[in-house]
Structure 1
Amino acid sequence: MKLRPLVIALALLTPAVAAVPAAEAADGSYTATIRRTEYGIPHITADDYGGLGFGYGYAFAQDNLCTLASWVVTLRGERSRYFGPLAESDDPAKPVANLASDVYYKSVAGSGVVRRLLARPAPVGPSGELRRLVDGYVAGYNRYLADTGVANLPDPTCRGKAWVGPITATDMWHNLLDLSRMLSSSPLKEAITGIAGPEDEKPPPRPAAGSNAWALGRQVTRGGGGMVLADPHFPWQGIRRFYQVQLTIPGVLDVSGGSLYGTPVVQIGHNAKVAWTHTVSHAQRFSVYRLALADGRSYTVDGRAEPMGEQEVEVTLPDGTVSAHTLLTSRYGPVLAAGHTDEAAYALADANAANLRAADEWLAMARAGSVDELRAAQRTHQGMPFVHTLATDVSGTAYFADTSVVPHVGDAAAKRCAEPSPVPGLDAYVLDGSTSACLWGRDGDAVVPGIFGPGSQPTLVRADYVANSNNTYWMTNPAKPLTGYPKAYGETGTDLEPRPRAGLDMIARRLSGADGLGAPGFTLETLQATVRGKRNLTFELMRDDLLKMCRADRSSPGSRADVREACRTLGTWDGRATLDGEGAILWREFFTRLPHPAWRVPFDPARPLTTPRGLKDDPAVRQALADAVLFFRSNGIPLTLTPGQAQSYSSIPIPGCTEGEGCFDRVRMRGPLGVDGRYPEVDTGSSFMMAVELTPGGPRARTVLTYSLSANPASPHHTDQTALFSRGGWVTERFTAAEIAADPRLRTVTVRGGVDAGK
């Protein structure tokens, strides 16, 4: 393992003050009712926020205590102590060596940023309701752990382990902060700390979070109300999984949906009148400042030298010894190890470095009675860390906005201050740090300085639809392209990529009735059928040219491969990545071998929905097909290999195809097709799928949690929804009290505890 000098700055926005005492229930106790319906889905009811959090923490611990317990070890910077400094961390998005993880998280905790935020009033600091939710959640988790005992935990993953113990509210606040930093500081641990494991031990990069999202308005729904499709593509392991839950305080809050592990709020969901979802946006989350060094420990700003601050971080190793690290600070943020020279260093300025506002924003959105009220909640808190928001309401108003936290670097400032990046592939502005003229700007409507306010954000309100599949905001609705916003939010006029194109084409076909699903317009049933169609857009766009090439030449020049059988297989495949799709895997292996670019017609910004298209007929394309065929034949793999045979999760076959192929309901694996005709286990793809229709009589919703409710392999709910997802099924959501009571599998328990359990 390489250890380089560490230079880290702490982005602290407020002066040091005493922490606010924990909020307590009015009578010194918590009470909640947990009702579980089919697939173990919990519906939690309490009279107050503290009790609601208590019931949620208790229910979550029953299903997933080990995952959160491991993550708490991570947040405390103690992974090296229990698992060794070289082992891989449990970060599901970008794991690193435990030592790098520990140094990073100890520096965050030592900075005091959470303590400072807790001392601030809302909206910069947490609201009283959120504080009570967090305290109750911690108390509920700890009550379950105390009742069960570490030695008797049902999950063998952490049963009897020394690293399992009570959690604190501080742990949960750090989890919420780390969620906000998920696409900014957190994935840059190695660049920040300079610590990396041996290169030959590094796993392939794991896929970043993605998603599909539609908000359908009254003009395109058969019933005239709003509908939402939520299809987030988050990791299938670890702390960034979704947990399906309904949270109810009678007369105050009633929300159902997907809640990320270790958070007491619903991130994607609906109430009786509003539904919303998110996709990861292309906007920048941080800037990098080039520091002109005066010497090894100072840099100049406006001609004056500024010393770097210092912080000492100590990490305990398995043998009890301590690994000590000196961390340095700048006015901008952490100083990256990468790119450091005798003349310059580079500091990371993270717009989400002190963002705890997101949880309060989701809580306020859950209480909204209309799109207008949801928008007001977003304007108040301005905490969405890295996502677009798509929403609708019972009136059928469809809404899109990139309300995410974005550093205020306008186009003029970028032109004036931006410099070449010292790190290849770094997707952020590199700004001149030697002058205060290049500091982030200010918007008068921004809740904190240095970020764009609501008036600068890409926004669209429609009566037909808004849609996004991680493309930039400009093609949210092709009838009304969005332009004129700062480039920090992403480029316009760019190639949509196949998956977003597939989504927009699916909507267009449904609205014209050309998809074979009946009369035009969306119903809940046609929405379900549309999104589970398993179309492979690149095959659709290249099929005719491929078969023409096959007819012209049966083998690739310079190759012994006979591609006739492959051509027959692809010629009879229907282009859908169903479990029994013979040709789906052959197409993927051919497509991934194609030269770049392989399109016959290149992208044209004036025709973003129909270009690029077609397949070039040249020797490199023919060789790609021959190479794919040779791989199959040399390993005895049938060319008719299907997704059901090649890809799985917990031994359950998983349909779908990959991002690059243009598959709406994509899957991702950690490696290539093996010589046994199987991919490594699926670890990312559709996660919490929700199709909801808002009607005057109440919401109608269908959901499926693709990896199921519990990470515990001994749980009956470890793979039950996975099997449902595999065969294309959905869960009919039970939202009202009557619907819940009508479930013949209903189990009800009342849980109680004191506030001491959460301290």
Structure 2
Amino acid sequence: MKKTPLWIAMSLASGLLVSGCSNDDDRTDAVTPEPEPQVMVFAPDGKLDARIRRTTYGVPHIEADNIESLAFGSGYAQAQDHLCLLADGVIKANSERSKYFGPHKSIDFATGLPLQEDNQNLVNDFGYKALGIREAAATAMPTLGERSRAMLSGFAAGYNLYLADLASGAVTTPNLPCAGQPWVKPITDVDMLTYLFSMALLPGAANFLDLIFFANPGDGDEYLPRPAATALNTPASKAMLADVRTKALARSQTLTTPQVNPMDMGSNGWGLGAEVTENGKGMVLGNPHFPHTGQLRFWQSHLTIPGFLDVMGGSLVGMPGAVNIGFNQNLAWTHTFSTAEHFIMYNLALKQGDRLTYLFDEEEMAITPRTYSVEVNIGGGVTIPLEKEVYLTAKGPMVEAPPQLAPFGWDDNQAFFIQDANMANTDVLEHWSAMNFASNLEQFQQAFKDFDGVIFNNTMYADDQGNAFYIDDSTVPGLSSDAENAIWLSPDIRAARESAGFTILPGDDSMFAFDAPVAYDQAPKLVRQDFVQNSNNSYWITNPASPIENVSPLYGDRRVEQSLRTRMALTLMSDARGDDGKFSRQDVEAALMSNRAYLAELVLPQLLVQCEAQGTTPVVVSDSLSVDVSPACAALAKWNGAQNQDSVAGALLREFGYRFDTEAHLDVPFVYTDPLNTPNTLAADGSALVALAAASATLTGNGFALDAPLGSMQFVEKSMPDGSASGVRFPWAGANNREGGFNVFAYSNEANDDTLLPQHAYPAALDAVTGAPTASELTTEGYHVRYGSSWMMVVGFEEEGPQARGLLSYSESNNVMSPHWNDQTQYYSQNTALRPLLFTESAIAAETLSDRSIEFQK
């Protein structure tokens, strides 16, 4: 973490100000003005006080006189909307899931029984103990900056007050069934910091919990947990232990290499500058593609400390009193998931004959076993402690994969450990708070110079002065220049990186070691007066007119083919402007909601020509499958140019997209000097018709019409608290990454919904060629949306301040009893548009639904 002094965004440079001419040296009436007042951090005399007004769609406008009270209001309001998610996040981070729910993930609230018997809770609990986040939080708390301590303590107090109001009956609105259950309990500031530490590891070490659980120097089942000395020796405990052992052995046979930085975990972001906007002021498009369920869910709020802070936007649930993606009076910003790597896996050379000693610059270093214990619920209100060893180096936990995931084995010669740059990242709150308080580009940039808390994001910014700014200052390991050169040039390191999907470096040479993140001045960044943008490719062509080069390879690749979505984004940047060649806010919103698909714009006319030549002659897909593609071609000819609800053959285009390969199906290859237009030109060898034939057979084989409108197949349907289907389906517009969409959605969220809250799912549709579930995750009911565009906003600036529209596509509350469980979801389904964001006092007063003040004496 950066160690520069705490930056208070609202403070101004102080100095001696005098009136009159500079040569009036003998004046005696010169006055030194009072210093600019500073925002109050802690509540005076420990009395927390906040006002929460809710406007249409349930948006809370939270006002307080100090940072601690503002977080207090945020904690209360978030608990109103997301009590179960917050409570589950805290027990997960504290390694207590097994204590309340047994060893397996996902419970059925109706029966209390596990829905998946997979040891997931046990793996998580031991994994987070191995990562040491609770211990790190307790140690770090007294050393945090004042703002962080105030935000954590205030949020915990607000959350706890809501629990107390539930228990006393002061809150009369029904809540989710988790209310009153033993795992939904009061929290502390250390609990909240532990939760934030767990979130910071999501793009890195948290992907390796299974490999941490499995790691051990032996060759057998030594990694399995065992009863602690105090464990009850009862039939129930013996049965649970046998079950854990069976499931653990089975789980070890099905592990796969963790996928980090998945493309679906993405977003679009634009920062538009003076040269491309109608009024010469900046504009921001924010469009994060994130899970619609789980702990990576966004929540909208408006936070105000009169005279100091006025910020609105979306935050991840559990962010205590700060906005992650939003705007204030002078500036706006958004984030996208970065291609950067936030950890290094190190390959250790072991001392001969000793699997617990490795060599580092020819010196012997210890691998230290540490025994951890986890309480496991065996039913009937009884828990027993299980214990196991985890193995640690001075810089991170050991990892090991079963034999089928070689080469990550632990044998007589080598072993592996993970070092995560986001471990115990204490800058998260300070960094986002500094961005919230900033009032100009210099102050916004200073936040990145002072802190390293933007854990896995690119940042796009624009302001009322017409500046556009991009930076990827996510927390990236700061390697030596020699190590960076080796990553670029070493064939072995490059091959290992390509195979694994992340960087693996020698652990025996200090040249490859790191102790801190990359410094601000070495991070990829760009200031423009036209635009900056990102759609989850690397920093490289943030603006094609000014490619970014010469940064650490850990930030991602350069001079490589861009995704169809990035090409769509850059196309929209060019052709979605008004007749004057400039953007209005309406133009930007129209671009976001256009639902264009770059794949179709790239190849559909050529594909239809090939269709005409093919006629009714069957296309041979395999030895057992030939398809007359003429019905598919006729359906595609009716496609209306966008993936809207009324788009005929939208599903056919999607299934074709999942079988389309730019390398195999395009003749003109990628040229890095023309990344927007290459590769191109549909191959004339008939391979694209084979892909179309397979797509056609898959849809018809599962009972879907080729000319079905997309809205008849793509829908949102939420789950009830017990995991059953709500029965309320909303037809849904929007494209997909594989089609080269911009406003995109996806359909399975299992990998990104690490909560206990169950979600219903429909049977998978089967691929006509492979007989396996389709890559598109089509179900027997259609495309069940659970991922994609989430908190969306378009913000521009006028003389009177920000003008903003936005939408939280899955609505503000996760409480099925709330009127704001589905209202924005219904709005999107019916309008495919954003709504006004109420930022001014007059706008808030006109649409206030409730107005409540809360207080608490510490």
TM-score, normalized by length of structure 2?
Answer: 0.79
Aligned pairs (5 A) from 1:738-757: 738-743=842-847, 745-755=848-858
1:735 equivalent to 2:839? Answer yes
In structure 2, relative to structure 1, the CA distance for the partners of 1:180 and 1:208 (3 Å cut) is farther
1:587-646, Cα deviation, whole Å (9 max, x unpaired): 111222345622232211121110112322334432222222222333331111232121
Distance in 2, Cα, partners of 1:615 & 1:402: 35
Distance 1:251 1:174 in 2: 32
1:686-729 deviation digits (Å, cap 9, x = unpaired): 11001001222111000100110001112110111111122213
In structure 2, distance between residues paired with 1:585 and 1:301: 55
Shift in CA distance, 424/379, structure 1 to aligned 2, threshold 3 Å: closer
What does residue 444 of structure 1 align with? none
Q: 2:715 matched to 1:637?
A: no
Question: Counterpart amino acid of 2:387?
Answer: A
- Partner AA of 2:731 in structure 1: P
**Structure 1 position 189 matched with structure 2 position 209:** yes
Identity %: 35
Residue 306 of structure 1 is aligned with which of 355, 365, 388? 365
Residues 353-372 of structure 1: matches in 2 within 5 Å?
353-372=423-442
Equivalent residue for 2:656, pick from 590, 595, 599: 590
Distance 1:150 1:102, change over 3 A: farther
Report the 3-state secondary structure (helix = DSSP H, G, I; strand = E; otherwise coil) of the residue aligned with 2:576. Answer: helix
| TM-aligned CA distance change 1:241 to 1:696, over 3 Å | same
Distance 1:679 1:636, change over 3 A: closer
SS at match of 1:318: strand
Q: Distance in 2 between matches of 1:463 and 1:416?
A: 36
- Please say which of residues 57-66 and 101-110 is displaced more in the overlay: 101-110
Matches within 5 A, 1:81-230: 81-88=99-106, 97-109=120-132, 112-120=135-143, 126-149=144-167, 154-194=174-214, 198=251, 208-230=264-286
- Is the CA contact 2:73–2:854 (under 8 Å) kept in the aligned structure 1? yes
| Correspondence 1:469 to 2:535 | yes
SS class of match (1:101): helix
Q: Which amino acid aligns with 2:376?
A: L
Pairwise CA distance, 1:46: 0.6
1:717 corresponds to which of 782, 799, 820: 820
2:273–2:528 Cα contact (<8 Å) kept: yes
Q: 2: CA distance between counterparts of 1:142 and 1:64?
A: 13
How far the C-alpha of 1:660 sits from its partner, in A, is 1.8
Change over 3 Å in CA distance of 1:34–1:583 after alignment to 2: same
The one-letter code matched in structure 2 to 1:542 is V
* Gapped regions of structure 2 (runs ≥ 5): 4-40, 109-117, 215-247, 402-407, 718-728, 749-763, 765-773
Query: Is the CA contact (8 Å cut-off) linking 2:130 and 2:397 kept in structure 1?
Result: no
Q: 2:348 aligns with which of 268, 279, 291?
A: 291
SS in 2 for 1:656: coil
1:298 counterpart letter in structure 2? T
Of residues 641, 666, 669, the one that matches 1:575 is: 641
Matches within 5 A, 1:549-698: 549-554=610-615, 555-558=617-620, 559-594=625-660, 597-650=664-717, 651-670=729-748, 672=774, 678-679=781-782, 681-698=784-801
The list of structure 1 runs, each at least 4 consecutive aligned residues, that deviate by more than 6 angstroms after superposition, is 150-153, 199-207, 421-424, 673-676
Give the Å deviation of 1:53: 1.2
Deviation digits for residues 341-374 of structure 1 (CA, Å, limit 9, x no counterpart) = 2210011111111212022111011111111110
Task: State the 1:674 CA deviation.
Answer: 7.7
In 1, are the aligned partners of 2:70 and 2:305 still within 8 Å (CA)? yes
* Partners of 2:626 and 2:150 in 1: CA distance: 70
Q: Distance in 1 between matches of 2:673 and 2:47?
A: 63
Contact kept in structure 2, 1:409 and 1:488, CA below 8 Å? no
Q: CA deviation at 1:382?
A: 2.3
Please tell me whether residue 322 in structure 1 is matched to residue 399 in structure 2.
Answer: no
User: C-alpha distance in 2, partners of 1:57/1:196?
Assistant: 41
Q: Number of aligned residue pairs: give it.
A: 712
**Higher mean displacement: 314-323 or 522-531:** 314-323
The structural deviation recorded for 1:679 is 3.4
- Is contact 2:133-2:197 (8 Å) kept? no
Quickly say closer, same or farther: Cα 1:202–1:665, change in 2 above 3 A: farther
Q: Residue 372 of structure 1 aligns to which amino acid in structure 2?
A: E
CA distance in 2: counterparts of 1:257 and 1:653, whole angstroms: 26
Structure 1 residue 218: Cα displacement: 0.8
Q: Distance in 1 between matches of 2:187 and 2:778?
A: 45
Matches within 5 A, 1:118-517: 118-120=141-143, 126-149=144-167, 154-194=174-214, 198=251, 208-264=264-320, 265-294=322-351, 295-319=354-378, 320-338=383-401, 339=408, 340-410=410-480, 412-416=482-486, 420=493, 425-440=499-514, 449-511=515-577, 513=578
Match of 2:78 in 1: 60
How far the C-alpha of 1:580 sits from its partner, in A, is: 1.1
Residue in structure 2 matched with residue 4 of structure 1 by the alignment: none
Distance of 1:394 and 1:705 partners within structure 2: 25
Larger Rg belongs to? 2
**Matched-pair contact (CA < 8 Å) for 1:211–1:469:** yes
Amino acid at match of 2:122: L
Counterpart amino acid of residue 508 in structure 2: S
How far is the alpha carbon of 1:207 from its aligned partner? 6.6
Take 2:675 and 2:263, find their aligned partners in 1: how far apart are those partners? 25
Determine if contact 1:66/1:155 at 8 Å carries over to the other structure. no
**Which position in structure 1 is the counterpart of 2:6?**
none
After superposition, the CA RMSD in angstroms is: 2.6
Comparing 270-279 and 401-410, the one that deviates more = 401-410
Q: Deviations over 1:364-415 (max 9, x none)?
A: 1111111111001110112211111111111010000111111122553144
C-alpha distance in structure 1 between counterparts of 2:158 and 2:808, whole Å: 23
Q: Deviations over 1:410-444 (max 9, x none)?
A: 5531445875577974333322211223322xxxx
Q: Which moved more, 1:425-434 or 1:98-107?
A: 425-434
Distance 2:430 2:176 in 1: 35
Residue 14 of structure 2 corresponds to which residue in structure 1?
none
SS at match of 2:371: strand
Q: Corresponding residue for 1:19?
A: none
**Residue in 2 aligned with 1:8?**
none
Give yes or no for the alignment of 1:529 onto 2:590.
Answer: yes
Contact persistence 2:627–2:693 (CA under 8 A): yes
Structure 1 equivalent of residue 602 of structure 2: 541
Contact 1:244/1:709 (<8 A) preserved: yes
The CA distance in 1 between the partners of 2:312 and 2:188, in whole Å, is 26
- 2:75 partner letter: G
What is the DSSP-based 3-state SS (H/G/I as helix, E as strand, rest coil) of the residue aligned with 1:291?
A: strand
User: Does the 8 Å CA contact 1:230/1:689 hold for their aligned counterparts?
Assistant: yes
The answer as to whether partners of 2:263 and 2:536 remain within 8 angstroms in 1 is: no
Question: Could you list the runs of 5+ residues in structure 1 that have no partner in the other structure?
Answer: 1-10, 14-22, 121-125, 441-448
**Alpha-carbon displacement from aligned partner over 1:209-252 (angstroms, at most 9, x marks no partner):** 20100000011110111100000111111111111001111112
What is the deviation of 1:144? Answer: 0.8
1:307 alignment partner AA: A
Counterpart residue identity of residue 330, structure 1: T
Contact 1:226 1:693 in 2 (8 A): yes
What is the aligned partner in structure 1 of residue 27 from structure 2? none
TM-score (norm 1): 0.89
